[in-house]
Amino acid sequence: DTAVSQTPKYLVTQMGNDKSIKCEQNLGHDTMYWYKQDSKKFLKIMFSYNNKELIINETVPNRFSPKSPDKAHLNLHINSLELGDSAVYFCASSQSIGGGTEAFFGQGTRLTVV
Amino acid sequence: DQQVKQNSPSLSVQEGRISILNCDYTNSMFDYFLWYKKYPAEGPTFLISISSIKDKNEDGRFTVFLNKSAKHLSLHIVPSQPGDSAVYFCAARSGAGSYQLTFGKGTKLSVIP
């Protein structure tokens, strides 16, 4: 059973398009995240949601909009895609209370904007 | 400004020997440190962690050492196995209740049979 699953695994799209990446966790965690790994291999946090509420919103263009319909899902919508958005996007989850600090990551979505 | 630094992008070690991966940090507010392992085309997998109140944590072949005064931590793998070949990320949390992990750039470990 996959603990944190994100779809699609690969996404190739043209500049200007709008796309979504879905993420689901079956661990019962109350906090979910989106991280971006750029071409320089840095893993940087983009957003964090705790119990469906936005907790962290790093300096990310407002073309990126996370949506959390429930505690188990955190989807990432990206509007007007640009070449610089090409990266690997990782979803993750953790338990804020009573659990360890470690976050569990999905397998990543490699987004290529052409 | 990199708050978590892994200055060695790669490391090669013979099977059976010790692998030592290093990590330095600059933020004195970090209170919890983690190591993640990542295989190609997979997400990072949690490996081991250490609280800032400790200086050592051991789990099987993996040991993490923390030197707070030097703002340095290291991951020791002994004995190293070919399956340990992966990218290792050091990460840090800034205070209880913080939801954010700050990652280093990673060190690619190659264990040679």
What local confidence, expressed as pLDDT, does residue B79 receive? 98
CB-based contacts of B74, cutoff 8 Å, min separation 6: B20, B21, B22, B23, B64, B65
What is the tens place of the pLDDT at every residue in B66-97?
999 999 999 999 999 999 999 999 999 876 66
A110: nearest CA partner in chain B = B41
What is the tens place of the pLDDT at every residue in A26-66?
999 988 999 999 887 889 989 888 887 887 777 788 999 99
- Give the pairing of strands A109-113 and A87-94: antiparallel
Low-confidence stretches of chain B (pLDDT < 70) are 95-98
Residue A6: pLDDT over 90: yes
Q: Which of residues 9-38 of A touch B (CB under 8 A)?
A: 31, 33
pLDDT band (50, 70, 90) for residue A100: low
pLDDT band (50, 70, 90) for residue A101: low
Query: Is B19 touching A (CB cutoff 8 A)?
Result: no
- Give the pairing of strands B107-112 and B56-59: unpaired
Rounding to the nearest 10 degrees, give the CA dihedral for residues A21, A26, A27, A30.
60
Cβ within 8 Å, pair B44-A31: no
Contacts of A102 in chain B (CB under 8 A): 34, 46, 49
Task: Give the burial class of B21: count Cβ atoms within 10 A of its Cβ; 0-12 exposed, 13-18 middle, 19 or more buried.
Answer: buried
What local confidence, expressed as pLDDT, does residue A98 receive? 47
